[in-house]
A and B are shown apart, each in its own frame.
Chain A
Amino acid sequence: EDKVVQSPLSLVVHEGDTVTLNCSYEVTNFRSLLWYKQEKKAPTFLFMLTSSGIEKKSGRLSSILDKKELFSILNITATQTGDSAVYLCALNMNYGGATNKLIFGTGTLLAVQP
């Protein structure tokens, strides 16, 4: 069964800390790996990763994919209280190229304390 596992399940840090969120998977046939941030309602898009070893960066956030070891990490440096959210990792599956289907991990709940 296609599976995405995120760790840790939850994390409490203080402002200014650096955090690393992990996403591992047991799927090989996917088009891309996506990271989303979910605060109260809609997941908002952070990154899409398609190639192994190429880091994507956006401000204090960065992410990388390792297709050989089957994992991705999301790094957040100099955390702020506004980073508090659930971070979701998802794989966009490849069913012969004919569809979009995201398989989500359980998410990591990040709480940043002032």
Chain B
Amino acid sequence: KAGVTQTPRYLIKTRGQQVTLSCSPISGHRSVSWYQQTPGQGLQFLFEYFSETQRNKGNFPGRFSGRQFSNSRSEMNVSTLELGDSALYLCASSLTSGGASTDTQYFGPGTRLTVL
């Protein structure tokens, strides 16, 4: 089974621009979660989507948004980029959302975003 895929792998943007990142979960998985990883803050939860609905959101400004499509693929968007948005953005997929306690989240390779 193919793993979680993310595109693009690397992005360079300038302040004020916007960016869209894509995540395709493992086949059959319906939950996609997004995380931001920075050296200072570590891994922080952004949001989770399940069945095209946002289930939970972390403490990030409204410039961070996302959506999920009927095939479970997900995109996240960051508008009006700031220097502090430079990070590794990881998505994770799991079979269900808050279901069985044995449901594991599997991570994709990430998108490295650099804001200049």
Contact = CB atoms under 8 A, between A and B. Distances in A.
A48 B106 CA distance: 12
A100 B94 contact: yes
Interface centre among B44, B50, B98 (most CB of A within 10 A): B98
A6 to B, nearest CB: 10
Nearest to A103: B45
Interface residues on B, range: 20 to 34
B94 A102 contact: no
B101 A31 contact: yes
Contacts, number: 79
Interface stretch (B64-72, B79-87, B107-115): B107-115
Interface in A73-101: 88, 90, 92, 94-101
Given A32-B101, A103-B45, A41 B109 contact: yes
Nearest to A6: B42
Given A32-B101, A42-B108, A43-B90, A102 B33 contact: yes
Contacts of A48: 102, 104
B21 interface: no
